[in-house]
Amino acid sequence: MRLFVILCVLAVSPLIAQTTGLPFMNDFSVNGQGAGTVSNCNANITVQDSITVDISALPGAGVIGALSQSCSPGSLPIGLGTTTIDIDISTSQIWIDATNLLATGNPLNNFATANAAGAWSFSINAALPVGLLGWFQCAVVGAAYPGGVEMTQAHQVTNISVQCTAQPSTGPTGDDTTVNVVFQSAPFTFYGTTHNDVWINSNGNLTFTAGDTDFTSTQLEFLNDPEPRIAPCWDDFSPNAGGSVTYNENVATGQFDVSWINVPHFAAAVGDANSFCASLNLVTGEISLGWDTMGLNGGTSVDQIVGISPGSGLSLANNVDLSLPFAALSVNDAIYEDFSQVAFGAFDLAVNTRLFQPTGGPGAGPYQVF
């Protein structure tokens, strides 16, 4: 596996050794994830063969970057003051060095230098190895830093393969429509109840016992509607305007897959595309939800509900951060994140998967998610 190390060197306000997202302190995000954290070893940033690194710092600062296989907070003091490196330099590769210490004329001397607004960014679009790429960390260097150097936080970056692919059978094609599909190999058990069929609703969700064309997702409806629901992304989508909703049942394995591929949000600007999917295991009752690119109407749609619910008011409100593992207590507990509440930030599940596993036997709660 190819490894990189990002040490980013910029000139910035001198009083804090490790970046924290404070104003004028350099900050470091990967694909928009990880900015502003106070963690020195910030785990679980996932990318998909596309990496965009953004750093904010003082104008004109230089940047060095590296990638290592391990991270230990504060493992290596550097320079003066209290600045420390977290990644293991002995296993790192220097990737970028724009500290103007390179040979005269080396284009990297001018490549990684914060602009007049203090911003520096670069992107990689390539077929990267799938799996853990390593721990990225940057350093910024300049006279304003104690000892001349300051580290960003370190981010663990994992490259995952595409989660959701189009399936052979066509699902709903109209705006706010639903298609009923009968399982072929076995019924699906959900919250302890077996269902012989499922409704694929164009607005990013599946329901049992009846379809639902509701394009306004609310927590109250998610909990209290009579239909049990699995929502990879309940939001107002328009497959009539682009993309596809497709499904397939593998009768040999009992895997039932539904994919929304490049479907735009309702009334979105041209180019909006959302790809996500749900897989039901008819044997075990496990539910896998996955997300690839999620345009969400240029990020302006902020009212998604993601998760599972038995409906019929059987569960108390259970809004949780789906970025983290969670285990429900009761057999009928819903597990979901209502992004409209912004309790755990905006939609952050793109390029991710979550497995909802029944712990009471096949298709029987309580469910746990990880």
- The minimum distance between CB 114 and Ca ion, in angstroms, equals 29
Q: Tell me which of 72, 240, 344, 357 binds Ca ion, using CB under 5 A.
A: 344
Mapping DSSP to helix (H, G, I), strand (E, B) and coil, where does residue 146 land? helix
Residue 147 φ/ψ, nearest 5 degrees: 75, 0
Pairwise CA distance, residues 40 & 47, whole Å: 20
Question: What is the nearest approach in angstroms of Ca ion to the Cβ of residue 191?
Answer: 21
Q: How far apart are CA 157 and CA 45, in angstroms?
A: 5
Which of these ranges, 73-81, 96-104, 170-178, 182-190, lies near Ca ion under the rule CB under 5 A?
170-178
Least Å distance, CB 82 to Ca ion, is 31
Concatenated DSSP letters of 4-27? -EE-------SS-SB--S-TTS-E
CB 52 within 8 A of CB 123: yes
- β-strands 169-170, 335-338 pairing: unpaired
Residue 122 or 215: the one with the smaller Cβ distance to Ca ion is 215
Binding mask 248-267 for Ca ion (x = CB under 5 A): ------------------x-
Q: Pick from 176, 227, 292, 333: which binds Ca ion (CB under 5 A)?
A: 176
Q: Which is nearer to Ca ion, 79 or 295 (CB)?
A: 295
Of the candidates 102, 43, 40, the one whose C-alpha atom is nearest the C-alpha of residue 76 is 40
Q: Minimum distance between the CB of residue 231 and Ca ion, rounded to whole angstroms? A: 12
Q: Which of 49, 54, 286, 348 binds Ca ion (CB under 5 A)?
A: 348
300 part of the interface to Ca ion, by CB under 5 A: no
Residue 180 Cα distances to 158, 177, 218, 234, 259, angstroms? 37, 10, 23, 17, 15
Is 27 a binder of Ca ion (CB under 5 A)?
no
Q: Is position 37 an interface residue for Ca ion (rule: CB under 5 A)?
A: no
Among residues 281 and 297, whose Cβ is nearest to Ca ion? 297
**What is residue 295's three-state secondary structure?**
coil
Of positions 321, 325, 343, 346, contacts Ca ion by CB under 5 A: 321
CA 233 – CA 229 distance, rounded (Å): 11
Q: Which residues inside 202-231 make contact with Ca ion, applying CB under 5 A?
A: 203, 214-216, 221
Binding site for Ca ion (CB under 5 A): 175-176, 203, 214-216, 221, 235-236, 266, 301, 303, 321, 323, 344, 348
